Structure 1
Amino acid sequence: MFQRIPSITTTELEKLDRPVIIDVRETHEYKGGHIPKAKNVPLGQIAAFSSTEPVYVICASGMRSKRAAKILRKNGVEVTNVRGGMMAWQGLVKGGIK
């Protein structure tokens, strides 16, 4: 019944080849700086999101993305949480300053 949500570090995420990244922060946070090619789907809208591809969810610290991952998994999406969120991200950032 209970299944643990898989998670990876930001370093592991950065090494992946073209992952589908969903940033679940609010729009103003996303505009302040996000991973290039990450799609913004705020947590409040995540239940309507669907994907046939595996997705990686990220937020500011990893807490909202963990909640989003549980919702997505319940909806049949193969999902992995990114531990540490954007606070741990050391890679390229689009918009804002990091």
Structure 2
Amino acid sequence: MAHYRAAESKREQFRRYLEKAGVLDSLTNVLVALYEETEKPNNALEFIRQHLGTAGPDSADVESLRLELTELQQKYDLLVEENRELRNRLLQYEPPAEDRGAE
């Protein structure tokens, strides 16, 4: 019996902790909002995440950032290649630094 009371006491402490932290109120409010929705969302978990404020970035935002990243990566690659070509052309007209010091 003592083991049962200890487990119950831990549960009660945890429940009070959640209540004190406002977690129970927040969860209750979100679940009530979900219950009161006339058209239930296809993804209830996503609904809960959005209403708790823990939702990740919007998928449209993520897609636009991926597109921007791809474009910037392509520009970077072009600039690196252009830099390499210009260095090679410069070396054709200027001797390496070691050769200039000997003159």
TM-score range, shorter chain: under 0.3
Whichever structure has more strand as a proportion of its residues is: 1
Give me the TM-score of the superposition, normalised by structure 2: 0.19
Which structure has the larger Rg?
Answer: 2
Name the structure, 1 or 2, with higher relative contact order (CA <8 Å, separation 6+): 1
